[in-house]
Amino acid sequence: MDAGTLVGSLGARAITLGFSHYCVAEMAKTFRGYGTAADRGRQLFSCLRRFVDAGARCTKQNMELIPAELTALTSKTEVEPFLSANEHAQLKAEIDTLVSGIFDEAANRLIDERIEFARRTRQAQIRHLEPCRTELAL
């Protein structure tokens, strides 16, 4: 099944196919490999671009969604989980760059930022849960 058919079929059922920035960063790591890594990276992003062109949408970062969900609880509003049209266009441009095989310093920074973000998130979760662990030990 091609991307357009899948996205259209899901859309007919009011289902939006989505992916995250994390997926993009993880796929971009392919370019850091050796040998045919750049070819594999271009193929991965070519496939992703077909889905994006067919209407797949990118979700906001979890750290953006959590405050929005908390606000929605108190204000009885809805949370928009997907990127704005402008943000989506920027991400699509980044994907197009990777499809063309351009893995530049900006792409490396994206990966490094995601790795650092994951590290900080894990540390924050550990610090947050530390009092619970201490209480359970008592």
**Mean model confidence pLDDT for the chain:** 86
- The alpha carbon of 135 is separated from its chain's Cα centroid by a whole number of angstroms, namely 35
Q: Which domain does 8 fall in, by range? A: 3-137
Asked whether the beta carbons of 1 and 77 are under 8 A apart, the reply is: no
Residue 134 scores a pLDDT above 80: no
Residues of the chain with pLDDT > 70: what percent?
96
* Greater pLDDT, 22 or 50: 50
Q: How far apart are CA 55 and CA 45, in angstroms?
A: 15
Dump pLDDT digits (tens) for 36-85.
Answer: 888 888 899 999 999 999 999 999 887 788 888 988 988 989 999 999 99
Collapsed DSSP state (helix, strand, coil) of residue 81: coil
Q: How far apart are CA 130 and CA 106, in angstroms?
A: 36
State the CB neighbour count (10 A cutoff) for residue 103: 20
Dump pLDDT digits (tens) for 106-122.
Answer: 888 878 887 888 788 88
* Domains identified in the chain, total number: 1
Identify the weakest region by mean pLDDT among 26-40, 56-70, 124-138. Answer: 124-138
Question: Which residue, 111, 62, 60, 115, is CA-closest to 82?
Answer: 60
pLDDT at 106: 81
- Provide the phi-psi class of 120: left if phi over 0, else alpha when psi is between -120 and 50, else beta: alpha
